[in-house]
Structure 1
């Protein structure tokens, strides 16, 4: 599995359903033809009916993101480059195309009890500018990868109320590279330092749905934080002239907590063929402050010390409205628009993740050739707000031994999704 640029606010990945991709995820916490809604609200599992339901979803993300600005060296970098370290070299396209798969299984035992399993990649990031770009001392490649398996059980009290609980088991890996400032040079490529760590953590999910009157449904879903104890290494390249003759490898550990998420969705039947949908989502990114790395092997040869991973995000919000129309018994059309408030603003925006608020425009369809088989397709075009990076005194990433970096970011994203659903 490959997780590309995060396009769900921060480094979360929203692309977990081809069905709801077509509505900009409006109504994703209510029951529908697809059980992919259990990612946001496990209580929607009760909409699967009796028997076994299986779904396979794939999203292909085609992003484009270019960072162009000016680096002004200061401190040690300025001294080691002889004053020639200034650069305006652009990043090139830092965003790679990516495929994000997800799988869902549901089983209705009887009218009351339902069991499900979701396998997703809820967090991901992959940015890779050109090696010698102007911002290389603040970042080169950045990778976050995750796999999350969530078994759940739902109980349907009656036609009005359903509840559910689930358990998250999640693997998370982080790998970050930067040009090593103590090897600055105008005659050769600057080597990279690297932070890498992985962990398995656990969390929970919960939710309920209420149908107060016929044709109206409200769903609330909760995905808890997942606590990770990352273990890995920090590598510095050889640094002649500053007390280290060879590259050093330091064992590290760090505590990282992914944010919890609350989803509120509604679905209203307008006519026998048309339904209006809406969603409001809150993500507690503000719990992700500064992650401190701790050496585990007593190594003290690193001249710069272990770096901190500074996030300090705000909370994230997502709003969307949409609708779906049954063209006939086999074909359903849907569309939606969404707006996302990013947890990242200019005060903390980094070269690793130049995230910003964005507009979602989406459309999709479902085709059901037989009673048991269905196909979904969805498309979204994302339009980010004007984005700037200003790493200068006062910014959390600014390092007086490196220098300042000020840039503009030009981005856009297209997302194509498809799924196959089969009910035994």
Structure 2
């Protein structure tokens, strides 16, 4: 389920942090663009074409929709983390539960123009992050707050070659904004806590494409490609010096900051089997997280104090290794048409994490997860369906073990879980 990104730092949390919350799929990808899909664990995402959310799931699926449809709604995430086995250079609290209650909205429109062509539009969040530790968090030198929002606009069209095969394509217009905060105490007596805040934003283009094949009258196979998106973020790094820190070691200041980052491409292959009242779904998704080898932030306009070694460690050019690996997610699901108004859904998902044991940090305290889903669709009117869904996510326990150039360290064991709730509606006209 939901995800995380932004500027972090290698020495004490200011370069780019790509972190994953319980909100997302693997890494910092966000899955929640469909409540009907959430109910089946997103199994069959590229082959089901249940409603207008297929604009994202597989744009070729618009060929199967009749007339015009609007689908909208949101997912709501209640996550929790337990932190134990803590060690490090300093004392502090370790309350966990750093992910606030979070909402992820979306909206889609699809319209059949004729027997061959359909058009659509979507607005949704493909990636995101939120993490906010308590003020006295022991690992705050490695990240105290991270927040990122990625919003995508996707105009889309599909073309049916015949009743069996259709293609879909949509360019994506992507906007990313983010904030990251860290707090560090310099390594000498009397040094106060120094707040480092980075803000930045950027825009970039990408695309989504899909193929949908009705292999038989009851079997559909779909393949969807979501392209990588290459961003150049610009913003500023602000240093707020703590009490007791000599001017020779650190100045207050605001500095121009920039970084380049690619969000990864992914392939989704799935199948939908219609058995009358029952439908069965299966799918797998491959994501190329190995693009994320390291993160480098460049700060400009810095004038170092006389003995500027510490200042360079805090606001200089920073490179942080990530060394993420490619991931697979697998899902199976089913739906049952109980009567002409009511559909029941369920699903089970296994989702790999891209992080490794050596480079994992408090901003990325994530491991492989299993997700169990339930959902209901109810036709409140002949042309309107309300969908609700629930998902429970449980991650394997993982360990964090970080150190920085100031000789500081933090280690801990994280156990993460989350409850997700979805509410949406589709109106056909």
TM-score by length of 1: 0.90
Superposition map of 1:228-247 within 5 A: 228-238=231-241, 240-241=245-246, 243-244=248-249, 246-247=251-252
Question: What SS class does the counterpart of residue 369 from structure 1 fall into?
Answer: strand
Distance 2:265 2:198 in 1: 25
Distance 2:51 2:416 in 1: 31
Q: How far off is 1:103 after superposition? A: 0.3
Superposition map of 1:15-164 within 5 A: 15-50=32-67, 52-73=68-89, 86-87=90-91, 89-164=93-168
1:171 equivalent to 2:188? Answer no
Distance 2:363 2:248 in 1: 29
Superposed CA deviations along residues 111-132 of structure 1, whole A, max 9, x for unmatched, are 1100011111111111111122
Distance 1:406 1:26 in 2: 36
Q: How far off is 1:298 after superposition? A: 5.9
Shift of the 309–57 alpha-carbon distance from structure 1 to 2, 3 Å rule, reads farther
Q: How far off is 1:332 after superposition? A: 0.8
Distance 1:71 1:403 in 2: 11
CA contact under 8 A between 1:181 and 1:402: conserved in structure 2? Answer: no
Question: What SS class does the counterpart of residue 318 from structure 2 fall into?
Answer: coil
CA contact under 8 A between 2:3 and 2:25: conserved in structure 1? Answer: no
Superposed CA deviations along residues 279-299 of structure 1, whole A, max 9, x for unmatched, are 100111111222212234465
Structure 1 stretches lacking a partner, 5+ long: 74-85, 392-397
Deviates more, 1:319-328 or 1:169-178: 169-178
Distance 2:153 2:49 in 1: 22
Determine which of 240, 252, 268 is the counterpart of 2:273: 268
Question: What SS class does the counterpart of residue 406 from structure 1 fall into?
Answer: strand
Distance 1:185 1:315 in 2: 44
CA contact under 8 A between 1:104 and 1:117: conserved in structure 2? Answer: yes
Question: What SS class does the counterpart of residue 39 from structure 1 fall into?
Answer: helix
1:372 equivalent to 2:388? Answer no
Question: What SS class does the counterpart of residue 256 from structure 2 fall into?
Answer: strand
Distance 1:62 1:69 in 2: 24
1:294 maps to which residue? Answer: 298
1:249 maps to which residue? Answer: 254
Q: How far off is 1:309 after superposition? A: 4.7
Deviates more, 1:408-417 or 1:243-252: 243-252
Q: How far off is 1:16 after superposition? A: 1.3
Superposed CA deviations along residues 130-186 of structure 1, whole A, max 9, x for unmatched, are 122111111110111111111111001111100011101011123221113437767
1:388 equivalent to 2:399? Answer yes
Superposition map of 1:217-236 within 5 A: 217-236=220-239
2:16 maps to which residue? Answer: none
Count of aligned positions: 402
1:317 maps to which residue? Answer: 328
RMSD: 2.0
Structure 2 stretches lacking a partner, 5+ long: 5-20, 306-310
Shift of the 23–185 alpha-carbon distance from structure 1 to 2, 3 Å rule, reads farther
Superposition map of 1:312-351 within 5 A: 312-351=323-362
Determine which of 348, 366, 382 is the counterpart of 1:355: 366
